[in-house]
């Protein structure tokens, strides 16, 4: 494993440091804020923070998803432990079913967040796609000197709009 012991993992404010990393602060910012060498922050981020936080760089939304996912996963671990307990002890069947439901809904949420569970195929309305709208605008603009053509094209496109074609990705 790592030859250099991680100074961050043993710190009492480790959670705050993980949060700062998860919020997308740079290694240097985190290091300065907590008085740690940024190389130590880098090693900790690479080796010890939850996978989602360490690998999903960029937008805050994505980072938030990472922390929510990490929390959900720890909730799932708890639910699983409860389930084992419920199955071992003389918990009523009803009680066991309750716990099974909790575990299942946790799993379901995790699968949704990680994209493992895709409930419906993504559909794209081509008529509303920004790429198409700009193509259409350019087309109309180019046809301005030719009013007859412009009218014909606009009419034809208007007819298409009434029954939008949907593409399944
Ligand atoms: Zn660490």
* Chain segment 70-120, per-residue pLDDT in tens: 888 888 888 888 888 888 887 787 887 888 888 888 888 888 777 776 666
What does the domain layout of the chain look like in residue ranges? 14-49, 60-114, 124-168
Q: pLDDT: is 125 or 2 the higher one? A: 125
Q: pLDDT tier at 36 (50, 70, 90 boundaries)?
A: very high
Distance 40 CA to ligand 1 centre (A): 8
Query: pTM for the whole thing?
Result: 0.32
Question: Any idea what DSSP says for residue 151?
Answer: H
Distance 24 CA to ligand 1 centre (A): 17
pLDDT, position 133: 82
Residues that place a CB less than 5 A from ion ligand 1: 6, 8-9, 44, 48
Q: Which of 141, 71, 60 is nearest to 113 (CA)?
A: 71
> 106, 75 in Cβ contact below 8 A?
yes
In the chain, what percentage of residues exceed pLDDT 90?
9
pLDDT, position 62: 46
Alpha-helical runs (H) found in the chain:
14-22, 27-34, 38-48, 51-55, 60-88, 93-114, 130-143, 147-162
Distance 76 CA to ligand 1 centre (A): 23
């Amino acid at each position: 494993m790592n030859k250099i012991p991680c100074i961050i993992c043993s710190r009492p404010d480790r959670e705050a440091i993980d949060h700062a990393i998860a919020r997308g602060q740079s290694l240097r910012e985190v290091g300065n804020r907590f008085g740690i060498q940024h190389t130590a922050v880098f090693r900790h981020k690479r080796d010890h923070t939850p996978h989602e936080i360490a690998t999903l760089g960029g937008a805050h939304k994505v980072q938030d998803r990472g922390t929510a996912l990490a929390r959900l996963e720890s909730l799932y671990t708890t639910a699983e432990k409860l389930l084992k307990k419920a199955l071992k002890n003389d918990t009523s069947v009803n009680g066991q079913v309750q716990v099974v439901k909790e575990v299942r809904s946790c799993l379901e949420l995790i699968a949704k967040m990680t994209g493992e569970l895709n409930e419906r195929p993504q559909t794209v309305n081509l008529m509303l796609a920004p790429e198409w709208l700009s193509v259409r605008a350019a087309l109309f603009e180019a046809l301005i000197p030719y009013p007859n053509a412009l009218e014909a094209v606009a009419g034809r496109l208007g007819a298409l709009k009434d029954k939008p074609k949907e593409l399944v990705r």
